[in-house]
Each structure stands twice: as C-alpha cells, then as structure tokens.
Structure 1
Amino acid sequence: MASTPIRHLHPLFLFVLVASLRCGAAAGDGDGGEGFCSAEPSSECSGGQPLYWKVTHPTLAPAHLQDLPGFTRSVFKRDHALITPESHVFSPLPDWINTLGAYLISPAIGAHFTMYLANMQDGSKSAPPPKDVERLIFVLQGSISLSVGTGTTHSLSVDSYAYLPLLPTSLLYDFNIHIMDFQPGEYLNVKEVHYNQHGLLLLEGQGIYRLGDSWYPVQAGDTIWMAPFVPQWYAALGKTRTRYLLYKDVNRNPLI
C-alpha cells in the first residue's frame, strides 16, 4: 500500500507579553501584514493602581517563607509546568533593542510555542517576527506604538493586543487566544482532557488549578503549560475575580 506524505505544520509560535516600565514610554514595531486588534483604551495613566499591577509586582511567597533559601512554587513535570515569578530570569532579547525579556514557556519544556515577557523603555524596539511565525502582543503595563507593513501606526495601551501577520484560512495558523474571567467561587464545569496543549498567564486573582493528579494554588503572575491530554480544572478563590490569558492550538493535526 502506498503511503501518503504528511504535510508538517510549522512548529514554532511566538506569544509576546509586553510589559513597559512607564506609562506612554514603550515603543515597538512589527511587520508582515495587518492583523491589528484592540480592546477598549485603558485609563491606567489617569491615576490609581494599574490594571495588571500584580503580574509585574507579584507576591513572591507567603510572608513566613520569603526568607527561606531556595523556596519556589515553580514545578516542572512531564506533562505540565507551573512557572512562578521568582523563577523569571531577565536578559536581552534577540532582535529587540533596549529590551529585557523572561522566557516563560519554550520548546525546551515540550511546547511547540514560545511565551515570554518583554520589559521595554523609551527607545525600545522589536524586529518583525520571523517568516512563517505567528506573534501575538498583549500589553500588561504602559503603552507601545505598533507599526505594520502598510506604514500605519497604532497606539496600544493596557489590555490592547495585536496579531502579526494577517491570519489566513490555513491549518498552518492554529493560534487561538482566550481571556477567561471567573468570579470568586466560580469554577470550570468539567475536568478537561483533550489533545490540545495550552499556555496560560494569570492576570488577576487567585485560585486552585488541577493539572494531572496535582493541585496547585496559583495567583496573578503565574504561568502554566499544559501538554496534550493532561487533566485540567480550575476554581477561583479569594475576594476578587480571576482573569487569565489562554493559548490553545485548535487546528493542529494530532497525527503530527
């Protein structure tokens, strides 16, 4: 019987979370066609605590553990990982100018996408994403300017996001992003088990995440990677809502 060649999908996806250091101070650009989207403008610079303040200024550990040498809540297992802020290591980002980044998820962990934080200042700038690579930018703090191939410039404030390049109707582009909100006491109705893998950044709140047979207390600033078929479930705790940003590969061929 003759075999049919399998068409391989592109293995690398970039998911960029931009955290600028001051309101209105960051600048970045990209190329590769239109694909710009934006949430409602943020009033972060009008005073008060920024919307996602706890992501960039997290509580690293309970008070009675903060002075314990070697303490971390980070966990890495075969089919999932919890990466907490005390594990972030910032260094210069390749192809970025005047920018420090911390990689949260990468192919080295078993993922086929990359998620990282980028701290930008006045004069910071990024190169366009590599060819055939999808990039999503989500602004956590401050604001940036985004220039696309047509020469149009967009201003992105907190809660704004952009996708590069234009999303075609093709299995090569399986990028799917959700913003999930839970009020205190709300939880997922079912324990999910499916072939999609996920990347998750908690933006607000706290709760309990089940990954496999393990149960993890999580809070704003935590990152989670979930491999295909790992059992997963979440419940929101505390007095404020939970919000997290979720990556999912929805069109990927499970045979590849």
Structure 2
Amino acid sequence: MTERRTYFAPQGGLAPQTQVLTDRAVFTESYAVIPKGVMQDIVTSAFPFWDDTRAWVLARPMTGFAETFAQYVMDVAPGGGSDRPEPDETVQAGIFVMEGEVEITLGDSARTLTPGGYAYLPAGSGWSLRNRTSGHAKFHWIRKRYQPVEGLDRPEPVFTHDDDVDPVPMPDTDGVWSTTRFVDPSDLRHDMHVNVVTFQPGGVIPFAETHVMEHGIYVLEGKAVYRLNQDWVEVEAGDFMWLRAFCPQACYAGGPGPFRYLLYKDVNRHPAMHL
C-alpha cells in the first residue's frame, strides 16, 4: 500500500489582537527561520501579470540574505494564474505543488500538476500557468538565474511527481534518511537541485554539514529539532529556513511521523571569482 503524503501549505488569515506576541521567527547573518505563523494575509505580495494570485516571498537575493535564488509560496484562486509569469528570460523555475492543482503550458503542450507534482522549467522557455479548478492552488515557485556553460547543452523541461521517484537512501542509514531527487545529480547541465528529503522518526543528520551550497528548506510534513550555525531550533510543517553557504546544519527528526522538507541548493558551477 502506497504511503499517503501530506504537504502543508500556508492558510493565511490574521492573528487576533488578543494573541501574545511570542514566536519562533529568527533572522541572523547565517540563517533565517520564517515559521508558518508569520505567513498571514498582511505579508503577501502581488505580481504584475498574475491574475487572482498572492504570494508569500520566503527568500530573495539581497545583501546578508539569499544570494542565488528567490522562493515564493503562490496562492492562486480559481481561474487565476499568468500567461507571462516570468519577467526575466535568464531565470529558470522549479514548481512544487502542495495543494489543489495547476495547469502548466509549455509550447503546444499542457500538463497538470497535483499535490506532490514537480516541474523544472528552463530559462526562456515561455511557460504559463493557470488554475482551472474550483479551489485554490498553492505551490512553491523557486527562481534562479541560469548559469550556462560553454560546451554543455541546456537542460530540458522536467515534469514528475513525488510518488513517481524512488527515494535514494543515504549511505549506512538503513533508509531512515533518504532523498527524492527530481533530476539526475550527475547531469551537470543543471545548476540547481530541488529535492525532497525524508527522515523517519528518530532519524538524524549525524554531523554538522558545512558546505558551499546555499539552502532554502520548507518543511512539508512532521517536526524536528534543527541545528543552524550554533543554535538548535524547533521546526514543523509550514516553516521555512534559509541557510547561507557554509552555515553548519544538522537535525533530529521528532516523530511520530516522517519529517519531510523541500530542499533547494545551488550546484555544479565554479564559485564566481569576484568580491
């Protein structure tokens, strides 16, 4: 029997005036935690040429924060969407659906993504997106400027689903820690990866990962205690974390169910040699 997946999406709304102002939001020079309680109506954005759509901007390139990517949670009402969603032809996209469904048109072909569905859309591909259902659609939109390499072709579009990709167990973990990879990690045409990482209850990252890849992490399911630089923080479904390059990280999955998160990282390119 296939395990039923769940994907937590922001619900919006606004906290009452009686609520005590205590939360887990943290912003530092090496990491940030944006908990689900922060994603309320008052902090949404609207974008040109997007109809009946609002967005929670989780990360954007800026001094002292994300350097390589932007990440949004998009909330598209029935009939909404965009025929010209991407304003920059040099920017590629990763789309991961959490709630509802969307139709993505690329050239003469239209594909429908349901919860757990993932699309990689190359830079300059001229894609469009519509919600043709009677309910809201919520999905992650990850944007990164593509870094072409002379002698390497550009990658093709990818349409797949969380359930259709076999998770790869991490070495010596007996499957307690695994990664669902939507593109082949050995394909050097790609300069970003968007994966789903899964820890079974009690699973751990048993060392402080310290590496050049920048991360955007959105918790899809479950809860854990996460190590960010020198701090341990509690995170749960709906929380977002940004980790600067070389920020130490580790985690303990808390249970009672799996701890799963959507992971962005920049890969397969030389660091730019400028200051």
1:57 and 1:238, CA in 2 relative to 1: closer, same or farther beyond 3 A? farther
Deviation of the 1:173 alpha carbon:
4.6
Check the 8 A contact 1:199/1:223 in 2, yes or no: yes
Check the 8 A contact 1:188/1:235 in 2, yes or no: yes
Task: Say whether 1:134 aligns with 2:134.
Answer: no
Check the 8 A contact 1:55/1:202 in 2, yes or no: no
Q: Which residue does the alignment assign to 1:216?
A: 233
Task: Say whether 1:152 aligns with 2:87.
Answer: no
Matches within 5 A, 1:1-256: 51-52=6-7, 54-57=8-11, 67-68=19-20, 70-88=21-39, 89-108=43-62, 109-126=65-82, 127-129=84-86, 130-149=88-107, 151-165=108-122, 168=154, 173-256=190-273
Check the 8 A contact 1:136/1:163 in 2, yes or no: yes
Task: Tell me, in whole angstroms, the C-alpha distance in 1 between the residues paired with 2:114 and 2:232.
Answer: 34
**Partner amino acid, structure 2, of 1:188:** I
Residues 97-126 of structure 1, C-alpha deviations (whole Å, 9 max, x = no match) = 110001001113233210011101111112
Q: Which residue does the alignment assign to 1:21?
A: none
In terms of fraction of residues, the more strand-rich structure is 2
Check the 8 A contact 2:227/2:251 in 1, yes or no: yes
Query: What's the TM-score once normalised by structure 1's chain length?
Result: 0.72
1:84 and 1:91, CA in 2 relative to 1: closer, same or farther beyond 3 A? same
Q: Give SS of 2:209's match.
A: coil
Task: Tell me, in whole angstroms, the C-alpha distance in 2 between the residues paired with 1:162 and 1:110.
Answer: 22
Comparing 239-248 with 107-116, greater Cα deviation is found at 107-116
Check the 8 A contact 1:201/1:224 in 2, yes or no: yes
Aligned-pair Cα RMSD in Å: 2.7
- Sequence identity percentage: 35
Deviation of the 1:219 alpha carbon:
0.2
Q: Give SS of 2:9's match.
A: helix
Runs of 4+ in 1 over 4 A off after TM superposition: 169-173
**Partner amino acid, structure 1, of 2:115:** V
Deviation of the 1:172 alpha carbon:
8.0
Q: Give SS of 2:204's match.
A: coil
Task: Tell me, in whole angstroms, the C-alpha distance in 2 between the residues paired with 1:57 and 1:123.
Answer: 19
**Partner amino acid, structure 2, of 1:152:** S
Check the 8 A contact 1:134/1:175 in 2, yes or no: no
Check the 8 A contact 1:198/1:225 in 2, yes or no: yes
Check the 8 A contact 1:134/1:173 in 2, yes or no: no
Q: Give SS of 1:55's match.
A: coil
Query: What's the TM-score once normalised by structure 2's chain length?
Result: 0.67
**Partner amino acid, structure 2, of 1:90:** T
Check the 8 A contact 1:138/1:160 in 2, yes or no: yes
Q: Which runs of 5+ in 2 are unaligned?
A: 126-152, 156-186
**Partner amino acid, structure 1, of 2:196:** I
**Partner amino acid, structure 1, of 2:96:** F
User: Which of structures 1 and 2 has the larger relative contact order (alpha carbons within 8 angstroms, sep 6+)?
Assistant: 1
Deviation of the 1:217 alpha carbon:
0.2
